[in-house]
Amino acid sequence: MTKGDAARDAPIRMTTPIDGGVIAGWRWRNAGKPPLLFCHATGFCASVYKQMLRALSADFDIFAVDLRGHGRTRLAADPDRLRSWIIFARDISEFLNFHNRINWTLAGHSMGAVTATMAARGRTDIAALKLIEPVAMPPLLALAAKLPIWSFYAQRFPMVRQAARRRAAWPDRAAAEASYARKKLFAAWADGVLSDYLEDGLCEVAAGVGLSCSPQWEAATFAAQANPFWAAVADAPAPVSVLAANHSSTTAPGAARRRFARFDAAVALAGGVSHLAPMENPNLAARFVLGARFDA
């Protein structure tokens, strides 16, 4: 391994000032390579994608951010006022303006994929959009989410209810990791990814350690579905590629994949992974960002 290789394998923490606070995250510096910005899924943070991003660090100058209300980012996060993910997209647009680069690859997972797509609208500095399991809700659902009754209806969603009831604190990091490791959800994750997540997914609190993304903010984010995602796909200023899991948990099912095709987005269908593909198979997710094709 050369000195340059070692530097790429060791990311550094970064913070970027925007209106109202700072966006935190991780940076794999690689001077001369095109910039890549990665946005995470609801409830997670940039650190959980370290293995995937490390596999991309020879090809990109990487910025991986903690979105508002997640990880180490410090921006106002009032769950009672969250109605859509547009606020995340605005934050990302400010981030891009601050760094003033060209030919960005915007990539993201789940909510992060939707955020990246909405942030790209109207920009001239985007070279590609790489969307891993975007939350590709039917357009009518996004319209329904604008109705006053939506907040009552959304509280009945299983993911909203589960997030709101999530345990929020443990006596120490070892206890938190042991608790998570017993859960079925994490059984398929690649070795080390859970530890990467908890690095910034936990923060110090009076009782020991707690979730960096509060259960109330996570629940509100799941409920906030008034997102003009399909309009953003239609207006995308660069080619769009989608990685969808051939699994019952996918958020890009057949109807969504057909809609992507109508917008000339390239869709790759991957077998052997679920909606949490980057955590289960980081190398597969990295190959997708690099342009690989998959057979389900």
Q: CA of 229: how far to CAs of 121, 150, 189, 195, 246, in Å? A: 10, 18, 28, 32, 22
Backbone angles phi, psi at 16, to 5 degrees: -130, 125
Backbone φ/ψ region at 223: left (φ over 0), alpha (ψ -120 to 50), beta: alpha
Query: Checking DSSP bridges between strand 21-28 and strand 12-18, what pairing results, if any?
Result: antiparallel
Domain extents in the chain: 3-138+226-289
Q: CA of 37: how far to CAs of 62, 78, 220, 257, 289, in Å? A: 6, 25, 24, 24, 11
pLDDT for position 1 = 42
pLDDT for position 294 = 72
* Position 171, amino acid: P
* Cα separation, 112 vs 134, whole angstroms: 8
3-138+226-289 domain in CATH 3.40.50.1820?
Answer: yes
**Contact call for residues 40 and 72 (beta carbons, < 8 A):** no
Length of the chain: 296
Burial category of 34 from C-beta neighbours within 10 Å (exposed 0-12, middle 13-18, buried 19 and up): middle
Q: CA of 61: how far to CAs of 57, 184, 230, 256, in Å? A: 7, 34, 28, 31
pLDDT for position 160 = 96
Burial category of 204 from C-beta neighbours within 10 Å (exposed 0-12, middle 13-18, buried 19 and up): exposed
* Cα separation, 38 vs 48, whole angstroms: 12
Helix axes of 193-201 and 173-181: crossing angle, nearest 10 degrees = 130
pLDDT for position 295 = 64
Backbone angles phi, psi at 235, to 5 degrees: -95, 10
The pair of three-digit structure tokens given for residue 107, joined into one six-digit string: 């990539």
pLDDT in tens, the chain (296 residues): 454 554 556 899 999 999 999 999 999 999 999 999 999 999 999 999 999 999 999 999 999 999 999 999 999 999 999 999 999 999 999 999 999 999 999 999 999 999 999 999 999 999 999 999 999 999 999 999 999 999 888 999 999 999 999 999 999 999 999 999 999 999 999 999 999 999 999 999 998 999 999 999 999 999 999 999 999 999 999 999 999 999 999 999 999 999 999 999 999 999 999 999 999 999 999 999 999 877 65
* Cα separation, 78 vs 34, whole angstroms: 35
**Contact call for residues 47 and 71 (beta carbons, < 8 A):** yes
